[in-house]
Structure 1
Amino acid sequence: MPQVSLPRTLHLNLPLTALAPMQDVTNLKFMKVIAHYGSPDYFFTEYFRVNETSRLNPNILASITENDTGRPVFAQMIGESIPDLVRTTQELCRYNIAGIDLNMGCPAPRIYRKQAGGGLLKEPAKVDRIFGELRQALNDRPFTVKMRLGFENTDTFYQILDLINRHSIDLLSLHGRTVVDRYHGPVNYDLIAEAVKRVNCPVLANGNLYSAAQALSVLYQTGAAGVMVGRWAIGNPWIFAQIRQALRSEPITPVPLTEVRNYIDRLCQTPQAPYIPERARVGYLKLFLNYIALGVDSQGHFLRLMRQAQTQAELFEICDRFLLADSTQTLALAPYSGI
């Protein structure tokens, strides 16, 4: 079966950009926030868990049905039961999705121990069957895959790349670490370059893309069709606009720390906020501030004090102290190392 055309990109003459799917992060609200600061070409949902009793998660579904960013949204699934993956694919195809994305890279032990996510990389024969069934269920919709280099090693890497060709996968997002590596250690961009040469579909390079300059370096090193940015888009939602500036050889527009403070406010602004316990609100915000802080204060004081805050008022006072004290200070173009 021939590959299917992917949705149009924002800038036809530039490499692709995508926001990586991150559980408990890339919900509808975060997609809208990212879009405000400069959309990527493609969004991917948090994963829909798929098993015998699963139903479409309404909160994740909202990131498709209520999405007014104007950008295509791929629905990501995670699971290993072939009949239920097919059933869920058919259910999702009733909605305005850009395509289906199969998660074959999640490094959470509770996922891969069930042979889902990154656990599938140990079973090429099963991957072959899943690809065949899902490709047939999708008809003319794009079918994309997000994966890693392997489970503990790269023993199945080339075999699975050949399956991607056999089943005419339309887009591959490749994280340059193994499942066991999780998010630690160097990213093997050389193997991403090998994948680019071997597969017939566009490849998005993924893994530790912390700045526009790093994205350009990885594009040059790998020959990838584009980049997928995850955690570092949490700390710098301007990163997709900055990548496009860098690709055009334009100077990157500095982001004043006062704008970072506005970004934090935007993260907090939801109709549900008053009904969420303060402890949960503070914990949710800290999830984002863990990344934001790495581009704010080279000494790590903001990060340390933020983590110690117990109340929302205390947390905001610390944010104001570091982000509003000097209107000339700007967000670092790359996170400070060693913090």
Structure 2
Amino acid sequence: MVHSDRKISPQENRLPPPLQTGLALTALAPMQDVTDLFFMSVIDRYGSPDYFFTEYFRVYTNSGLDKKTLRSITENSTDRPIFAQLIGESIPDLVRIAQSLSHYPIAGIDLNMGCPAPRIYRKNVGGGLLRDPEKVSRILGELRDAVDGRLTVKMRVGFDDTANFDRILDLINRYNIDLLSLHGRTVKEKYHSAVHYDLIAHAVQRVNCPVLANGNVTSANAAATVLSKTGAAGVMVGRAAIRNPWIFKQIRQTLSGQPVSIVTLVEVRDYIERLRQTTTTQPIPERARVSYLKMYLNYIAQGVDAAGAFQHEMRLARTETELFEVCDRHLLSDPNQAFALEPYPGLVARPNCETAREAIVN
């Protein structure tokens, strides 16, 4: 069942209103080094999700509010609500930072319990917290007492197995969490396994708050299928939105029974140009600018040509001139050719954690 005629549940009234009442909720997944102020403004140009989430604020003893991440809140021009995400395990400092952020125009505080990067979970933060339900209980309890507004959680179904899954879902209920964004893999599965949509469906039945299904939501059709499989209140889209910033608009079209907008390669070239503009205001070496753009092009290339010629040539470019010659050759020679709605099979961006910068091919 597609949620195109779905009514908003009482639990969802805890949340800011969606762009289009009656449709499933949509959110851009927080991705470190990607979902900054600039990228959100680019996404907004092509069709915003219902909710944005910041890159995570790293929380530790004497930590402050990262200025770059804070700009995503204070300079947000999208007119869409933005949740401030925290990552950490020091309870007094999580409370301190959450209270500080509460003075800014945020939709709520989000706790990261899902990042699968080894350098993160080895510090017992992000996905590492899923190994310790007692610590999760203490963190959520203290944050719930400290946060007057919405408190949300992004997590995976477990660390290396799902032994703690139900226990943590029950904590979501105990502490009246307002929204659960659930990636249907364990931390150790990273992005390699099939997504366990049955476990997301289980969570939908067990918790009292809306659930956003996360994991392999690669297109509007995939979103509809995931909603049907899970019964979730909506979807959270991460890497697919890097490849296709039109995806949130396309999801709304699909769920409301409208034809999905066809994106042409010349429009993709325009998107790449907008991504390039963020590097022109920063005094960084050319090689760094090229690598920064490749971070995005790794994903975009998955929808340009099935043979992977654009992806291959893009990865070989060493200068901006070379890189944009590749872009123009593949995107402007037949500008009205359609950009693929789904990634072409076999073309992999090779990410290894939610930090998309680690997908750069140098």
- TM interval, short-chain normalised: over 0.9
Pick one of 246, 269, 278 that aligns with 1:261. 269
Q: Distance in 2 between matches of 1:237 and 1:3?
A: 25
Which residue in 2 is equivalent to 1:105? Answer: 114
Over residues 282-328 of structure 1, what are the superposed CA-to-partner deviations in whole Å (9 max), with x where a residue is unaligned? 01100000000000010011001000100011000000000000122
Pick one of 237, 256, 277 that aligns with 1:248. 256
Name which structure has the greater RCO, CA cutoff 8 Å, separation 6+.
Answer: 2
Q: Distance in 1 between matches of 2:163 and 2:12?
A: 27
Task: Give secondary structure in 1 for the equivalent of 2:55.
Answer: strand
Q: Distance in 2 between matches of 1:185 and 1:3?
A: 30
Which residue in 2 is equivalent to 1:44? Answer: 53
Pick one of 190, 210, 232 that aligns with 1:182. 190
Which residue in 2 is equivalent to 1:93? Answer: 102
Which residue in 2 is equivalent to 1:69? Answer: 78
Pick one of 118, 122, 140 that aligns with 2:131. 122
Over residues 158-191 of structure 1, what are the superposed CA-to-partner deviations in whole Å (9 max), with x where a residue is unaligned? 0000000000000000000000011111000000
Contact 2:144 2:175 in 1 (8 A): yes
Change (3 A) 1:300 1:282: same
Q: Distance in 2 between matches of 1:136 and 1:79?
A: 17
Q: Which runs of 5+ in 1 are unaligned?
A: none
Contact 1:28 1:62 in 2 (8 A): yes
Which residue in 2 is equivalent to 1:201? Answer: 209
Note if 1:152 corresponds to 2:160. yes
Which residue in 2 is equivalent to 1:307? Answer: 315
Change (3 A) 1:113 1:271: closer
Which residue in 2 is equivalent to 1:232? Answer: 240
Note if 1:286 corresponds to 2:291. no
Change (3 A) 1:244 1:287: same
Note if 1:330 corresponds to 2:338. yes
Contact 1:107 1:182 in 2 (8 A): yes
Once the 2 structures are TM-superposed, how far is the Cα of residue 4 of structure 1 from its aligned partner?
7.7
Pick one of 142, 163, 181 that aligns with 2:150. 142
Over residues 261-292 of structure 1, what are the superposed CA-to-partner deviations in whole Å (9 max), with x where a residue is unaligned? 00000111137535221111101100000000
Q: Distance in 2 between matches of 1:13 and 1:125?
A: 37
Which residue in 2 is equivalent to 1:321? Answer: 329
Q: Distance in 2 between matches of 1:177 and 1:270?
A: 33
Q: What letter is aligned with 1:177?
A: R
Q: Which runs of 5+ in 2 are unaligned?
A: 1-10, 348-362
Contact 2:26 2:234 in 1 (8 A): yes
Which residue in 2 is equivalent to 1:25? Answer: 34
Over residues 37-64 of structure 1, what are the superposed CA-to-partner deviations in whole Å (9 max), with x where a residue is unaligned? 0000000000000000311100000000
Once the 2 structures are TM-superposed, how far is the Cα of residue 255 of structure 1 from its aligned partner?
0.4
Change (3 A) 1:170 1:76: same
Q: Distance in 1 between matches of 2:265 and 2:217?
A: 21
Which residue in 1 is equivalent to 2:359? Answer: none
C-alpha RMSD of the superposition: 1.2
Q: Distance in 2 between matches of 1:230 and 1:331?
A: 19
- TM-score for both structures, normalised by structure 1: 0.98
Change (3 A) 1:25 1:274: closer
Q: Distance in 1 between matches of 2:285 and 2:45?
A: 27
Percentage of matched positions with identical amino acids: 66
Q: Distance in 2 between matches of 1:178 and 1:88?
A: 28
- TM-score for both structures, normalised by structure 2: 0.91
Contact 1:82 1:133 in 2 (8 A): yes
Q: Distance in 1 between matches of 2:125 and 2:253?
A: 38
Counting matched residue pairs gives: 337
Contact 2:12 2:210 in 1 (8 A): no
Q: Distance in 2 between matches of 1:4 and 1:303?
A: 43
Q: Distance in 1 between matches of 2:153 and 2:172?
A: 9
Once the 2 structures are TM-superposed, how far is the Cα of residue 7 of structure 1 from its aligned partner?
1.1
Note if 1:214 corresponds to 2:230. no
Task: Give secondary structure in 2 for the equivalent of 1:136.
Answer: helix
Q: What letter is aligned with 1:243?
A: I
Runs of 4+ in 1 over 6 A off after TM superposition: none
Which residue in 2 is equivalent to 1:79? Answer: 88
Over residues 215-256 of structure 1, what are the superposed CA-to-partner deviations in whole Å (9 max), with x where a residue is unaligned? 000000000000000001000000000000000111111101
